Amino acid sequence: MDSGPKIAQVAALVGDPARANMLTALMDGRTLTASELAYLAGVAPQTASGHLAKLTDAGLLALERRGRRRYFRLTSPAVGRMLEGLMVVAQDGPARHRTLWRGGDTLRHARTCYDHMAGRIAVAVADRLAQNSFVILDEDGGQLSSSGRSFFDRSGIDLTSTSKRRIFCRPCLDWSERRPHLAGAVGAAILRHALEHAWVERVRDSRALLVTPEGVSGFASVFGVQATS
């Protein structure tokens, strides 16, 4: 059985603070240049190049060249889930090693988790959908009920423009709230709808999302969720 060495290799890569910072910076699903990642990791460009090469070779990052610039992104939602899971495990460690949430209230209120939304609002949305039996969740996954599909159709949240190869719906344990938000195609569709309708705005150089006045109204009318901080 050769999974042990592979796990050890990935763990060693993620365990380096500079590489961990690079991976975390890409958890909002966007692409960043090598220079931007070097700055966010707090290392010199040459050092960053070595780190990025290792992460790319291991299949954690995908590289795209545009002229002289090199752009990097996480290779898949699975990498984002792994990182979020590591954050949860680290937070649940022994009390003497446990870190307090230091991400700031804006980040805790609403943020991206790869291609879906996390934080208080996302957890509240998942809770409301589950309470109304629109989404049925368990530890292994989730699915929409027939009433849930009707709800998404009425709300104008498009579930058809996602890859059929990806997981449709699943719970993702929220790092700061300790309860699940929605991931998979359903979670991505909710975030896409929120961005397209200006319910939330991205914060530059951060995973945080700012809820707009339109978002306060939208989350309340569609999901019955109080979106003010």
Check if the beta carbon of residue 124 is closer than 8 Å to that of residue 226.
yes
- Examine the domain organization and report whether 67 and 126 are in the same domain: no
Q: Which residue type sits at 162?
A: T
Check if the beta carbon of residue 187 is closer than 8 Å to that of residue 118.
no
Q: How far is CA 74 from CA 56, 58, 71, 114, 135, in A?
A: 9, 11, 11, 8, 28
Count of domains for the chain:
2
- Examine the domain organization and report whether 139 and 205 are in the same domain: yes
91 part of a folded domain: no
- Examine the domain organization and report whether 120 and 188 are in the same domain: yes
Rounded Cα distance, 33 and 38, in Å: 9
Helix, strand, coil percentages (3-state) for the chain, rounded to 5, are 50, 20, 35
Check if the beta carbon of residue 133 is closer than 8 Å to that of residue 147.
yes
User: pLDDT tens digits, the chain, 229 residues: what are they?
Assistant: 465 668 888 888 998 999 998 998 888 777 888 988 998 888 998 999 999 999 999 999 999 888 888 899 998 888 887 887 787 777 655 544 444 444 568 888 999 888 899 999 999 999 999 999 999 988 768 889 999 999 999 999 999 876 566 678 888 888 788 788 998 899 999 999 999 999 999 987 778 899 999 999 999 999 999 988 6
- Examine the domain organization and report whether 130 and 201 are in the same domain: yes
Q: Which pLDDT belongs to residue 100?
A: 43
Q: Which pLDDT belongs to residue 86?
A: 83
Domain boundary among the residues 29, 59, 75 is at 75
Q: How far is CA 49 from CA 9, 14, 215, in A?
A: 19, 16, 39
60 part of a folded domain: yes
- Examine the domain organization and report whether 10 and 67 are in the same domain: yes
- Examine the domain organization and report whether 107 and 10 are in the same domain: no
- Examine the domain organization and report whether 70 and 104 are in the same domain: no
- Examine the domain organization and report whether 62 and 174 are in the same domain: no
- Examine the domain organization and report whether 38 and 134 are in the same domain: no
88 part of a folded domain: no
pTM tops 0.75, yes or no: no
- CATH code, domain with 68: 1.10.10.10
* Domain enclosing residue 69, as ranges: 3-75
- Examine the domain organization and report whether 218 and 114 are in the same domain: yes
Q: Among 70, 55, 65, which residue's Cα sits nearest to residue 18? A: 55
- Examine the domain organization and report whether 219 and 113 are in the same domain: yes
80 part of a folded domain: no
Per the structure block, which two tokens stand in for 137?
């969740």
